[in-house]
């Protein structure tokens, strides 16, 4: 992975903070930055959902720094931002079901924690802050493809928290002249995504089932569709957004591949990679889920040059091979 660079600036001149850097997307961003010679890559993580296993490849790199701490603590956030040029904020409690089961903790981490990082980044006068926004912000708006200006009512506590992040980012831009970029991720998948636990995402769950030669459980009739996005595309978006010039206001942009895949189609694709023929089991639809999702990615292309290059099919092969050889 990351065989070609997404940047033109010399990374050896800059220090980066990756909050949630022990997590799935965060650790992939860390991998890219270290591979291309960043001066310093500091990770802030409390390991509530991230894993030290995700950092084992980097721990001996002299440019890597680990700060174990919680974004809900302002002192920790200020310490993490010392000497940092760019921050990519990936720390959050994901999962719609998790937020429904525990909205208070989701709110504390995703809103209070986000605000702490935003304040600390502004105080540290960083060159740019990019943060993980979410396609869940589109809520019940029926339009497809999703365009950034048109959102509906949120369908879960998680969606509320991610929308509040965007509101705070907009206010900080107008009031403090501190301009950040929110990346509305659409169902990112790839290596280092954990298939275990109550809140695992659908692709690692399906791939784990395929490896075990077991039937997956599909919520609903399987015709629910998503714009699945391979993690290398999300890393590209982060790097290009961090280093983009001429951003003079808060920006939000969709980060996806731009294609819609149903859960039934997804299982068929994974079955072909795994060379199995096992029909799935079906169960009730989950609360808080939208039926269909598809992104318009033209704004990200226009503003930062985002151009996703790894297709869903290619990403599934890479992810299957990684999960087959890495027990989590």
Contact 129, 242 (CB under 8 A): no
Nearest to 243 by CA among 7, 81, 29: 7
The owner of tokens 């940047």 is 7
- Catalytic residue (one of 158, 163, 168, 306): 158
Q: Is the torsion defined by CA of 149, 253, 21, 67 positive or negative?
A: negative
Long-range contacts of 323-327 (CB under 8 A, 24+ apart): 323/191, 323/195, 323/204, 323/207, 323/208, 323/211, 324/211, 326/191
> For this structure, is 86 an active site residue?
no
Q: Quick one: how far is CA 59 from the chain centroid?
A: 22
**The tokens of 68 are what?**
């174990």
- Report d(CA 249, CA 163) in Å as an integer: 17
DSSP symbols for 226-251: E--EEHHHHHHHHHHHHH-S---S-E
SS3 271: helix
Establish how many alpha carbons lie within 13 A of residue 131's alpha carbon, considering only the half-sphere containing its beta carbon: 30
Q: Quick one: how far is CA 238 from the chain centroid?
A: 9
DSSP symbols for 101-169: H-HHHHHIIIIIIHHHHHHHHHHTT-SEEEEEEEGGGGTT---SSB-TT------SHHHHHHHHHHHHH
- Report d(CA 20, CA 71) in Å as an integer: 9
| Residues involved in catalysis | 158
């Amino acid at each position: 992975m990351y065989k070609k660079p997404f940047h033109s600036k010399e990374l050896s001149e800059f220090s980066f903070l990756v909050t949630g850097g022990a997590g799935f997307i965060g650790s992939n961003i860390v991998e890219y930055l270290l591979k291309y010679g960043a001066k310093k890559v500091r990770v802030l993580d409390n390991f509530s959902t991230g894993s030290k296993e995700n950092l084992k490849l980097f721990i001996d790199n002299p440019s890597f720094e680990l700060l174990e701490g919680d974004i809900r603590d302002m002192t920790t956030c200020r310490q993490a931002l010392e000497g940092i040029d760019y921050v990519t904020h990936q720390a959050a409690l994901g999962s719609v079901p998790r937020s429904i089961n525990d909205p208070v903790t989701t709110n504390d981490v995703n809103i209070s924690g986000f605000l702490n990082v935003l304040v600390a980044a502004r105080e540290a006068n960083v060159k740019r802050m990019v943060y993980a926004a979410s396609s869940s912000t589109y809520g019940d708006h029926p339009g497809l493809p999703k365009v950034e200006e048109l959102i509906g009512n949120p369908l879960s506590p998680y969606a509320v928290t991610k929308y509040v992040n965007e509101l705070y980012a907009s206010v900080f831009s107008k009031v403090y002249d501190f301009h950040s970029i929110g990346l509305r991720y659409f169902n990112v998948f790839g290596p280092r995504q954990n298939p275990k636990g109550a809140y695992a995402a659908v692709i690692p769950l399906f791939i784990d089932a395929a490896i075990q030669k077991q039937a997956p459980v599909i919520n609903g009739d399987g015709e629910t569709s998503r714009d699945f996005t391979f993690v290398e595309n999300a890393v590209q978006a982060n790097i290009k957004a961090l280093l983009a010039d001429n951003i003079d206001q808060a920006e939000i942009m969709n980060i996806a591949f731009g294609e819609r895949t149903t859960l039934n189609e997804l299982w068929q694709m994974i079955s072909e990679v795994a060379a199995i023929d096992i029909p799935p089991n079906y169960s009730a639809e989950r609360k808080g889920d939208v039926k269909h999702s598809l992104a318009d990615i033209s704004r990200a292309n226009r503003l930062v040059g985002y151009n996703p290059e790894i297709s869903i099919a290619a990403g599934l092969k890479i992810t299957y091979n990684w999960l087959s050889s890495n027990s989590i």
